[in-house]
Amino acid sequence: MKIEPGSLNFYRVGHSIAVWENHSAQTERPRFNLSEKYPTLIFPKDKDGTANGFGSAALIRNDMLYVYGCEFEIELYTSPCLLARVKIDSILDRNQWQFFASGKGWSANLADATQVFEGANMTSVFYNSYIERYIAVYSKPVSTDVMFRTSANPEGPWSASLKLFEAEAPVGGIGWVYDALAHPEFSQDDGRIFYVSYSRTTGPLRSEFYLVAVELEK
């Protein structure tokens, strides 16, 4: 994120990875040199200025890291999600990353990546043992609806989007709820109950947070 003088004058320049080898020390940003202006970015914007949003959600399956990129397209008010994967021990080698391309499987070429589902630039994807499927949770853009989808695999095919619950609206009708996130680490009864947090605006530079318990039925 690059921040310049002025009110809310910030924009995304790409995404990267921080390495934390010693809990008593600060994290480090490796240099990938894929962008002359921002050498620490592993996923800088494309030459045409297009961002891919990788970092919207992530999960580990066996020895692979899966990372979703759901860049918000303000013209359409949608966030199509792409999917990348890499072996955990090769995370810092950009040449080892693969991208899911519908009809082609996994490709080393980012340009081949295709949408796996439509979500939000803040999304949670996790495996739920109770229903034995992956669940994606996100806020529907420009609304107070918190949505979810399910799939047998990280790459899909994903189910249609369904409404999980309606969040409390921002005070004064300013903005929308944009940051619904699941917290599977606090799940109960083998995932039958999991929790989702979100915030809503209550005034200028003020907000409050909610935690919602979700109970699943087979």
Q: Does residue 139 share a domain with residue 90? A: yes
Model's pTM, two decimal places?
0.90
Instruction: Say how many C-beta atoms besides its own lie within 10 A of residue 153's C-beta.
Output: 13
Looking at residue 86, which CATH number applies to its domain?
Answer: 2.115.10.20
Instruction: Give per-10-residue mean pLDDT for the chain (218 aa).
Output: 69 83 89 88 72 85 95 78 96 95 92 93 96 97 94 97 95 86 97 97 91 93
Co-location of 26 and 123 in the same domain: no
Q: What pLDDT is recorded for position 23? A: 85
**Quick one: tokens of 15?**
């995404």
How many domains are contained in the chain? 2
- Regarding whether 113 and 152 lie in a shared domain, the answer is yes
Q: What is the pLDDT of residue 113?
A: 93
For residue 172, give its domain range.
Answer: 52-215
In this prediction, residue 151 carries a pLDDT of 98
Contact between 193 and 214 under an 8 Å Cβ cutoff? The reply is yes
Assess whether the previous peptide bond of 141 is cis (omega < 30° from 0): no
Verify that 162 and 122 share a domain, yes or no: yes
pLDDT of residue 13: 78
- Cβ neighbours for 55, distance < 8 A, ≥ 6 positions apart: 15, 43, 67, 69
